[in-house]
Chains A and B, each alone.
Chain A
Amino acid sequence: MTKSVSPTPYEKSSAPALVQMTDVSKFYGNIRALQGVSLEVHAGEITCVLGDNGAGKSTLIKIIAGLHRHDAGRFEIEGEETVLANPRAALDHGIATVYQDLAVVPLMPVWRNFFLGSEPTKGRGPFRRLDVDFMRETTRAELLRMGIDLRDVDQPIGTLSGGERQCVAIARAVYFGAKVLVLDEPTAALGVKQSGVVLKYVAAARDAGLGVVLITHNPHHAYLVGDRFVLLKRGTMAGSHTRDSITLDELTRQMAGGSELDELSHELERVAESGPEHPSGAADPASGTTAL
């Protein structure tokens, strides 16, 4: 299926990074959720953000997606410093975010979900209406490109499997001309096979010339597709590597190894005491900081 996605030519090094964050920080009151984090996202590359629960991954994603504003540091989109006012502004800059809850409405049909918030219309004045035929056909065609053959795009999206929903969300972002695709733990709730399928579509999006930010706590998944790796630990940056400068073993060791293992096990105890952290936490502004 990935073969059907034709790679479009793109400038790899001459253009400024699609997204460049320099020493970005975020505070919730007196809680430091993120401090001094830098990352860059280039077209046709996958930047992986790795970190354990409470490392600040969610906070970082919310800043990129326009849900929260950063308190310090520079946030540049295509070379211009930007403060995103809301998710709409991020979308207008070509930054599309696929959340863990996938931002789909389970009871609504697949085609309505596919175009949610950006519905095409036809007609004028009071007769301006949804272009339903176009919406149905486009949804079907775009999903087919991703290898999902839905004959009935009218079924509620809640009836699809987790991997399929993830692919619908990615297909939606790609269709709407995203330049930067932010994926929040796309493989977290999936089995091995479904994870592989999703990673394949992530690679397909990269081959189509998108810059991808892949948030994950799985170094194996990250190393399969990643070009750059940013490690977060308790709100600060614990490391930043390109693919040439690090091996999978080293990446895994840095995620949870050496002297930090004691710290991690302590952190794990704390997490266990305060109950398991909810993976979604989209409505909870402090979700990225609960383990601090």
Chain B
Amino acid sequence: MSTATAVDERLAPTSLVRRLLGRPELGAVVGAAAVFVFFSFAAPSFLQASSLSTILYSASTIGIMACPVALLMIGGEFDLSAGVMVTTSALVSAMFSYQMTANVWVGVGVSLLVTLAIGFFNGFMLTRTRLPSFIITLGTFLMLTGLNLGFTKLISGSVSTKTIADMEGFSSARALFASQWNVGSVTLKVTILWWLALVAVATWILLRTRAGNWIFAVGGGADAARATGVPVVKTRIGLYMGVALCAWISGQHILFSFDVVQSGEGVGNEFLYIIAAVIGGCLMTGGYGSAIGSAVGAFIFGMTSNGIVYAQWNPDWFKFFLGAMLLLATLLNAWVRKRAEAK
């Protein structure tokens, strides 16, 4: 009985506040509220409905990628190629459609296969070589950047693709990836739906499926996961392919919103995804975080990037704000977690 009593003494009842403090998203939610209040005062037009739709749109473009990147980071890995992979996906779709067929859907399908193959390559190389994902995906990042420019110039003769707006299937593809509706004076874009759906699916996977348990385990203790029979290699490759799938969605959105794709785009976006995930409570070392947090992180990004414009400040300051936000969020997360685990 001695152990049972000793254990009992250590167990304090868990209050609602402590449960709340234990959530990974808490820091991000507090941060988002602070940013919202700040810009509400600093920029008079910030609270208008049309501003909100713009903020949601830019949040969604980052959030669609931040969501799988958050899952990947919970699984303990990085993907530095995520930004240019979006461009690659759009380029493959545009150029294949233009050169090979008359129907854009063929290009869209080929692009999906190619992008998933890139994700598989990242995961396969990582699990095979056991090199840090930083190195592997930095290599993929550089290779894709070069391929994007090289192939586009080779095939199109310029740094951007030719327009595919007059091709068969364009309007239906546009409806899926880049449509928008007017609700009163507000324009809502379809990426917001993609974003919310992805976050919902990712949260479901993370918290209520075996795969989710494996993601946490692979990131929080790969050796323990392997010893208990978790398919570590498959989980890691799956996470990279998840990033690729979302890169495909983002890429198709870019293609069908603008008809053409600039081959040099996407560089640097991978850090925005990582920042959104980290602000949302993901640990850099893996094993902790949430998909909802990444959405809040992306929302903070949307508010900050647009809030500076609405406040009529020089947008040059944006990067400074983003960096400060990242630092503050990380510190807040560390503090909250320490408090939550203290007792």
**Which residues of chain B come closer than 8 Å to A163, judged between CB atoms?**
3
B341 touching A159, Cβ below 8 Å: yes
Contact A116 B11 (CB under 8 A): no
Taking each of B3, B216, B225, which has the highest tally of chain A beta carbons within 10 Å of its own beta carbon? B3
- Shortest Cβ distance from residue A9 to the other chain B in the assembled complex, whole angstroms: 28
The interface bits of chain B over 28-42 (1 if a CB of A lies within 8 angstroms of the residue's CB, else 0) are: 000000000000000
From A130, which residue of chain B is reached at the shortest CB distance?
A: B208
**In the complex where A147-B4, A150-B11, A151-B11 touch, is A107 in contact with B228 (Cβ < 8 A)?**
no
Q: Tell me the bound Cα distance from A101 to B287 in angstroms.
A: 17
Specify the chain B residue showing the minimal Cβ separation from A118.
Answer: B229
Q: Cβ of B223 < 8 Å from any Cβ of A?
A: yes
**Structural contact, B7 and A282, CB atoms closer than 8 A:** no
Q: Are B216 and A105 in contact (CB-based, < 8 A)? A: yes
Among residues of B, the one whose C-beta sits closest to the C-beta of A148 is B7
Give Cα distance in the complex from A102 to B221, angstroms: 11
**A: number of interface residues (CB 8 Å):** 44
Chain A residues with Cβ under 8 A from B8's Cβ? 149
Partner of A149, one of B4, B213, B226: B4
Closest chain-A Cβ to B24's Cβ sits at a distance in Å of 10
Q: Is the CB of B223 within 8 A of A112?
A: no
Asked, given contacts A105-B216, A105-B217, A148-B3, whether A117 binds B230 with beta carbons under 8 Å apart, the answer is: yes
| CB-based contact A103/B223 at 8 Å | yes
Q: Is the interface of B mostly helix, strand, loop or mixed?
A: helix
Whether B213 lies near A119 (C-beta < 8 A) is yes
Tell yes or no: B209 within 8 A of A by CB: yes
B1-47 contacts to A (CB < 8 Å): 1-4, 7-8, 11, 13-14
Within 8 A of A (CB), among B184-238: 204, 208-210, 212-214, 216-217, 220-221, 223-230
**Residues of A contacting B288 with CB < 8 Å?**
107
Instruction: Give complex CA distance A147, B7 in Å.
Output: 9
Smallest distance from the beta carbon of A233 to chain B beta carbons, Å? Answer: 27
Chain B residues within CB distance 8 Å of chain A:
1-4, 7-8, 11, 13-14, 204, 208-210, 212-214, 216-217, 220-221, 223-230, 287-288, 341
6 shortest interchain CB distances as A-B pairs: A117-B228, A117-B229, A105-B220, A105-B221, A103-B227, A103-B224
With A101-B223, A103-B221 given, name 14 new contacts (CB 8 A): A97-B227, A104-B221, A104-B224, A105-B225, A105-B287, A116-B225, A117-B228, A117-B229, A119-B210, A121-B209, A147-B3, A148-B3, A150-B11, A151-B13
